[in-house]
Structure 1
């Protein structure tokens, strides 16, 4: 094999034409906005650090709230795990077709005629699928592109997304309630929040519980509102994309009772990923991808 032919063979993730980001040699796929994921993780870590330093740990050193500290740790771990699962899971990306395969399809066939065509991905999209302009991929049961995780929310990671916003809402309510309790019922021997084992104090640290209570209340209202909206969508059997486009629910979710929809959301089988092993080597002359045309409906 000559050098020219060697250069044509690359791993699939290296010649991926969408905007997804691949790490660990193509084994981990993240959405198009990695900075959004890093920002969300930083906000969670920053809030947790303030809470454990100025609310939870000082109370524990005085012999109280050990149970609440344990619950706080579990909620924080749940936030991080659900965030990572939402952001690093294939949302249901539909691989692009090669141009030759696209041209070989019969437009009059039922499999093609009843579907909307995506010029960018060179395929006839299944029902409820949509092309995401930010990630530049077609996604099964596309819901929306989440600015907090930097990834699309679709058929495969919607459950993880719902778990994420649910746990964040609960944890922010928990932190806000304990912060308010710390403010209205301070201990006589606790003049200002104490760091860890009572070896240092920060000037002005007595205002941190007030700031933390205000911050967690704002996040709780915003994320809780988002959670309420998605519970409403689950009850209607709609995706966010269908709701904004004022499209009626389609498929098996149409007219389904709310409890059945909840059971499918939390207990239903996750659709298999359509992506092949991204670490496999392919010939770039024959790799899927189509054209760079971004005009799609």
Structure 2
């Protein structure tokens, strides 16, 4: 029941944050890098098998990500101790922020017509003779996703694009889904079912990467500053957005893309069943990454 109220993503994040803060799990481990570097990119094609290029053309938006933080820190010559403290504070603040963001989205219904919603129902009810996913479709979806990720990673390396894997993965799968809509849409239910499982691992890692007591002891100033920034951002975003009459789920997803970037925006749209906003969330985060690094360096000089 609690999982239904808070949504799985929030529960995964809170459990991870609690386990890290209580010392049950380490806040840093090689396994977390595997989730972020391999499993998360693998989930993106699985989520976008029904993506239509015509929905994407008008979808642009917002700012930020840890990619920017790393790039700006390198450019400004930030010391390793300050860099580590800031990154740790960012992890904790983001874990708290995402928990609040998902709680605000609790009353917003999913898009009932989407295959993501169907996959979510399958996770709730478990496999039966009526709703179990075909093994062949699941295996095919994973194989295609692996192939797309491999090709996209090779392209990103050859073009020397820093942090370019996710944008290229998104572009490749959207183009393929547009060229072969019948074939890819047939794989969408199985792909999105697997993607939901991978996304739960991602949100657990988001939580476990933060340790509240470690931040309080080592970087209370950075933590407080980051917390104030995020609080003001969310208040202004929701306040002005409500005055202008914008849809709340668009505001929440835009806020997510501002703070977390394309990966977390994609994760939120998936977890909430807003499949029509998945590509928009990714594009919003990508657009932010493309300009936020230069803004950060400019303000820091």
- Taking structure 1 as the reference length, what is the TM-score of the superposition? 0.30
The structure with the greater share of residues assigned to strand is 1
In proportion to residue count, which structure has more helix?
2
| TM-score, length of structure 2 as denominator length | 0.30
